[in-house]
Amino acid sequence: FDMFVLAFAERLFRPTFRKDDFVLGKKLGEGAFGVVCKASLANPEAAEKVKANGVMQGDVVVKKATEYGAVEIWMNERVRRACASSCADFLYGFRESKSKGKGAEEYWLIWRFEGEDTLYDLMQSKEFPYNVETKILGDVQDLPKGIARENKIIQTVMRQLLFALDGLHSTGIVHRDIKPQNVIFSEGSRTFKIIDLGAAADLRVGINYIPKEFLLDPRYAAPEQYIMSTQTPSAPSVPVATTLSPVLWQLNLPDRFDIYSLGLIFLQMAFPSLRTDSNLIQFNRQLKRCDYDLEAWRNLVEPRANAELRRGFDIMDLDDGIGWELLTSMVRYKARQRISAKAALAHPYFNREGLLGLSVMQ
């Protein structure tokens, strides 16, 4: 059976939405390509339709996007069918004629409201990572605070994010904008999920499109930056379809772009001092000067490390440095030398028995 026929049928029989179904509330984000708001359902019929889409109650998130929203709808539909648990629950996407401005079209995307906090919000708190432990377990552990306990929590977050990323990559999707702001904590499933497929590429089916290179966040981008750029014209007006065989995927390893970004998140979780924007930018400069060799960076900064930096190295050095080993296999200059999401999940960093029982949470 043709997958496109199935996808079309599945979408056809799902209840559809219109913009009148939603009452827009608090603004959650705004970028060059659209605005994101929390929204409630305008009437009981809309609430029924949401239920039919698998969301039992509560608010939704609405993204009003420019023409690039069409690609983002495609990506979300694909995730919904292939690896739903990796990302925020997507309900529906549709096109609307804009209220102001003649002829302009905008795309509306609707998700379940997963929760208030992104990983970025949680990392800004002095309580991190203990504020995450409470969220994941619903309770605090009766164990002394310290690096071993913090390491367990970071391990759990990393496992969840690698699991989500492996889902996307196995589906043939590269996210390209992995950063703490694009990771949401789902209060329902008590796990971290990936959001914002606005820069994603579906290479297996052939949708490979970067609206503008500056979409890539330079703070988290791997050095190669423009993955598959030879096949992507700089600014086309419609999405460009290219075909990439699994063989080419193997050759170019575009998924390793996301792995680098996730490696930087790992680093920020372990090193409190690298959680601010300015310090992350400074770190990137230092790493570049070290030719993207983390070991060289360590040799550069460790001798004059302050207490906070020291603490980061101490966390990474636990269990014979198995965390540091995983980190250095993610943050590498050459994409092909970076570990894949699937291989990272099997890394010995995750094999140790979880002291807090955290290891039973996927």
Q: What angle do CA 352, 356, 362 make, to 5 degrees?
A: 65
What is the Cα gyration radius of the chain? Answer: 21
Contact segment (CB under 6 A) with ligand ADP among 111-119, 208-216, 253-261, 278-286 equals: 111-119
Which C-beta is closer to ligand ADP: that of 86 or that of 328? 86
Which C-beta is closer to ligand ADP: that of 59 or that of 317? 59
> Is residue 114 at the binding interface for ligand ADP, with CB under 6 A as the rule?
yes
What is the 8-class DSSP label of residue 236? -
Check if 177 is active-site.
yes
Q: At closest approach, how far in Å is the CB of 33 from ligand ADP?
A: 6
Position among 118, 151, 156, 182 found at the interface with Mg ion (CB under 5 A):
182
What are the backbone angles phi and psi of residue 322, rounded to the nearest 5°? Answer: -70, -30
> Is residue 255 at the binding interface for ligand ADP, with CB under 6 A as the rule?
no
Q: Which does 93 bind (CB under 5 to 8 A by kind): ligand ADP, Mg ion, none?
A: none
> Is residue 181 at the binding interface for ligand ADP, with CB under 6 A as the rule?
yes
What are the backbone angles phi and psi of residue 357, rounded to the nearest 5°? Answer: 75, 5
Rounded to an integer, what distance in angstroms lies between the CA atom of residue 239 and that of residue 156? 37
Preceding amide of 129 cis, omega within 30? yes
Position among 86, 118, 261, 329 found at the interface with ligand ADP (CB under 6 A):
118
> Is residue 198 at the binding interface for ligand ADP, with CB under 6 A as the rule?
yes
One-character DSSP codes across 246-296: HHHHHHH-TTHHHHHHHHHHHHHHH-GGGSSHHHHHHHHHHHHHTTT-HHH
Q: At closest approach, how far in Å is the CB of 89 from Mg ion?
A: 17
Specify which residues 96 forms β-bridges with. 106
DSSP E strand boundaries for the chain: 22-31, 34-41, 60-65, 90-97, 105-112, 173-174, 183-186, 191-194, 201-202
Which C-beta is closer to ligand ADP: that of 65 or that of 253? 65
Specify which residues 155 forms β-bridges with. none
Q: At closest approach, how far in Å is the CB of 118 from Mg ion?
A: 9
> Is residue 261 at the binding interface for Mg ion, with CB under 5 A as the rule?
no
Give me the residues that bind Mg ion (CB under 5 A), please.
182, 196
Give me the residues that bind ligand ADP (CB under 6 A), please.
28-29, 31, 36, 61, 63, 88, 111-115, 118, 181-182, 184, 195-196, 198
Catalytic residues: 177
